Amino acid sequence: MDQALQQFRDRIASASVSKTPLRIRGGGSKDWYGQNLQGELLDTRAYSGIVAYEPTELVITARCGTPLAEIEAALAERNQMLAFEPPRFSPDSTIGGVIAAGLSGPRRQAVGAVRDFVLGAVLMDGNGEMLRFGGQVMKNVAGYDVSRMLVGSLGMLGLILEVSLKVLPKPFHETTLRFEMRKTESIEQLNKWGGQPLPISASAWHGGVLIVRLSGAESAVKAAMQKMGGEEEAQADVFWNELRDHSNQYFSATNGPTALWRLSVPSAIPPLALEGEHLIEWGGAQRWLRTEMDADTIRSVVTQVGGHATLFRGGDKSVGVFHPLVPPLARVHRNLKNAFDPSGIFNPERMYKEF
């Protein structure tokens, strides 16, 4: 592994001198995410392997090129999991890409996002130096915010070499319920349930059907089923896995609008006046939209309700994939980029054209 680290340093040093952009990539499962790719490929997969796993401490540490499948298999042997359910867009997905993309799956509404599980990280900056933030135990909070800052940065700050993550035990019992329900009614009902002590771990509405997953002690799940009603979903595991990995009919559709938008809004907001095909997750807080509407209209509507809109997949990326930054936040991004990557070589313009 020392040889791999030295190769990384040499590539970064050379690129810094020549001002040659580097495109940091693991398995390439999320090459489509963000703005258009630029730079020479810097493949992270040579730096792979689980460094430490302490099931009793609920912590795992792995190198950036480690396949996500390898980590999940190790956790499954001890009946544990990455609770934020990162999407597995392909078998080639790596843990470095999981952190850099910062995407969470259906269970996010109950347990939190990717950054809530990051305990520490090791970063190689634009000078080829290894910087350590945080630690490998949950009580170690030194540098905690810096580690979390790397989540969703799409490699623009440097090469994420290693990450320590909090893991959780798998639920003792799970059941999924199905309801025939209109969009407005489902949002209202999800928010009512959200204010009650119910073990809801995921929810999704699409096409007049609301699907809700219950996770926890068997007694708590059964009590919630009696209170909520509905019918049990026979193909629950298939449904949640396809939703997590975006392999269901909604996300893989080839007909109709090609632009897929990810809208983040307050969960109680009524259905948005946006034309297209909708899918609602996270108790109403994450809303997917397939549409041909223009970006300005979409972002105007979403901004008015206190949210933001990302052109997740397809469409015209020239409008900007991510929601425009307000000037103060743009300055913070610029300062961070300059501090960690003074030569501007890492994944340039992957998030915003200015960086």
Residue 117, domain member (yes or no)? yes
Question: With contact defined as beta carbons under 8 Å apart, do 221 and 175 qualify?
Answer: yes
In a domain, 137, yes or no: yes
For the beta carbon of residue 102, count every other beta carbon within 10 angstroms: 18
Considering the domain architecture, whether residues 44 and 156 belong to the same structural domain is answered as yes
Question: The domain that contains 66 carries what CATH number?
Answer: 3.30.465.10
If asked whether residues 178 and 165 sit together in one domain, one would say no
302 domain-assigned:
no
16 with 136, same domain: the answer is yes
Structure confidence at residue 257 (pLDDT): 73
* Residue 282 belongs to some domain of the structure: no
Alpha-carbon span 314 to 312, nearest angstrom: 7
- Do 78 and 225 lie in a common domain? no
Structural domain containing residue 231: 173-245
10 Å Cβ neighbour count for 252?
A: 10
Q: Do 150 and 19 share a structural domain?
A: yes
3-state SS record for the chain: CHHHHHHHHHHHHHHHHHCCCEEEECCCCCCCCCCCCCCEEEECCCCCCEEEEECCCCEEEEECCCEHHHHHHHHHHCCEECCCCCCCCCCCCEHHHHHHHCCCCCCHHHHCCHHHHEEEEEEECCCCCEEEEECCCCCCCCCHHHHHHCCCCCCCCCEEEEEEEECEECCCEEEEEEEECCHHHHHHHHHHHHCCCCCEEEEEEECCEEEEEEEECHHHHHHHHHHHCCEECCCHHHHHHHHHHCCCHHHHCCCCCCEEEEEECCCCCCCCCCCCEEEEEHHHCEEEEEECCCHHHHHHHHHHCCCEEEEEECCCHHHCCCCCCCHHHHHHHHHHHHHHCCCCCECCCCCCCCC
Q: Among 101, 136, 169, identify where a domain stops.
A: 169
* 236 found inside a domain: yes
Tell me: do 235 and 93 sit in the same domain. no
108 & 23 share domain: yes
| CATH number of the structural domain spanning residue 229 | 3.30.70
Judge whether 317 lies within some domain: no
Q: Do residue 7 and residue 118 come from a single domain? A: yes
Whether 338 is in a domain gets the answer: no
Longest dimension (CA), the chain: 66
Res 136: pLDDT: 63
Q: Are residues 10 and 144 in the same domain?
A: yes
Say if residue 53 is in the same domain as residue 10.
yes
Looking at the structure, do residues 184 and 239 belong to the same domain, yes or no?
yes
Query: Does 91 share its domain with 179?
Result: no
Of 224, 245, 266, which residue sits at a domain end?
245
β-pair type (50-54, 40-43): unpaired
Point out the domain boundary residue: 118, 139, 169. 169
Query: 324 pairs with which residues across the strands?
Result: none
Q: How many domains is the chain built from?
A: 2
Kindly list the averaged pLDDT for each block of 10 residues, start to end, along the chain of length 355: 92 95 96 95 97 96 98 98 96 97 97 96 95 68 69 96 97 97 98 96 98 97 97 96 96 82 98 96 98 97 98 95 94 92 95 90
57 inside domain: yes
Q: How far is residue 232's CA from residue 214's CA, in Å, rounded to a whole number?
A: 11
